[in-house]
Amino acid sequence: MNKYINELRKRIALKTAVRSVKIPPTVKQVSFTFDDVPESAFVNAQPILERYGYRGTFYVALSFLDTDKTNINLYHKNHLSACLDNGHELGCHTYSHNRTYQNSKADFLTNDIHKNTVKLNETGIKYKFQNFSYPFGEQTIKMRTIAAKRFESSRGTDHGINKQHIDLNNLKAVKLYQNEHPLDKILSILDQLNSSGGWLIFYTHDVQTEFSKFGCSVEYFEAIVQKCKALNIEVKTVKQAVDELKRLT
Ligand SMILES: [Zn+2]
C-alpha cells in the first residue's frame, strides 16, 4: 500500500519543478555514475575509467565517510581527494541518505543537502557540488523544488536513455546491477544508443568480486567501458554533459 502511495506521490511530484531541455539529435554520450559510494568503486572502477581516458561522477553522502554499511566498506577522505585530483566529479547525494518519502520537511531537506557540502569542506576539501542524485530515487514536490534551485541537474532511478525532451531535474539512468541486468542486456542498450543517440547515464554502487545486489564485478564493469571505447562513444562526467547541454540549447 505504501509503495503504491509513494509511487503516486512521485508521479504527481514529477509534474512540478520540471526543468525541460531538448537533447540535440547529434548527442551520443555516456556517463558513469556511482552512488553512496562504496570504496570498491574508487579502488576498482575509477582506475578502469582512467585507463580508457574516461572520468566519472561519484554522488557521495558524507554520513558514509569512514563507515561501513551492510558490510560494504565505504570511502575515506583520501578517496575523495584522489578522485578530484584525477579529474572526476563529486556529486551530492544528501548528507544522511534518508528516505525522502518518510521525511520530506523542506527545512530538513535543505539542511541535509547543505550539510553534505559543509562536511566535505570540513575534511579540508574545498569543493562545491553542482549535480545531485536523489537517495533511492525518491522525489517529492519539496525535494524536487529544493534540488532544482540548488543544483544544475538531479539524477533519479527511472530506467532509460535521456533523449529528446528531458527533465534535468529527473535524469533517467540505467543500473549496472549485474544480477538484474546481465552484461548482454547492457551491451544491447549501448548498441541502441549508438544507433539512435541520446545521453545514457549508468549508475552502480560497489564494483568488486563479491558484489552486492546493487553492484557488479570488475570484469562486467570493464566490459561496458570497453564497449564504449569500441563504439567510439563519448564518455563524460555529468558536469561536462550538463555544461555542454547548456551551451548547445
Ligand atoms: Zn544512495
CATH of the domain at 240: 3.20.20.370
Which has the closest alpha carbon to 63: 130, 112, 103?
Answer: 112
Dihedral of the alpha carbons of 58, 129, 51, 211, in degrees to the nearest 10: 0
Ligand 1 mean position to 59 CA, how many Å?
A: 8
Point out the residues of the chain with pLDDT beneath 50. Answer: none
Distance CA 154, CA 169 (A): 5
Ligand 1 mean position to 27 CA, how many Å?
A: 28
Kindly report the CA angle at 67 between 65 and 73, in degrees rounded to 5? 105
What's the predicted TM-score (pTM) here?
0.96
Strand partners, 163: none
Ligand 1 mean position to 215 CA, how many Å?
A: 12
Name the amino acid, one letter, at 169.
Answer: N
Sole residue written with cell 533523449: 163
Q: Which domain range does residue 161 map to?
A: 2-248
What is the length of the chain? Answer: 249
Report how many domains make up the chain: 1
Q: CB–CB of 202/31 below 8 Å?
A: yes
Contacting residues for 153 by C-beta, under 8 A, at least 6 apart: 19, 131, 132, 168, 169, 171, 238, 242
Ligand 1 mean position to 133 CA, how many Å?
A: 8
Chain segment 220-249, per-residue pLDDT in tens: 999 999 999 999 999 999 999 999 999 987
Distance CA 22, CA 34 (A): 25
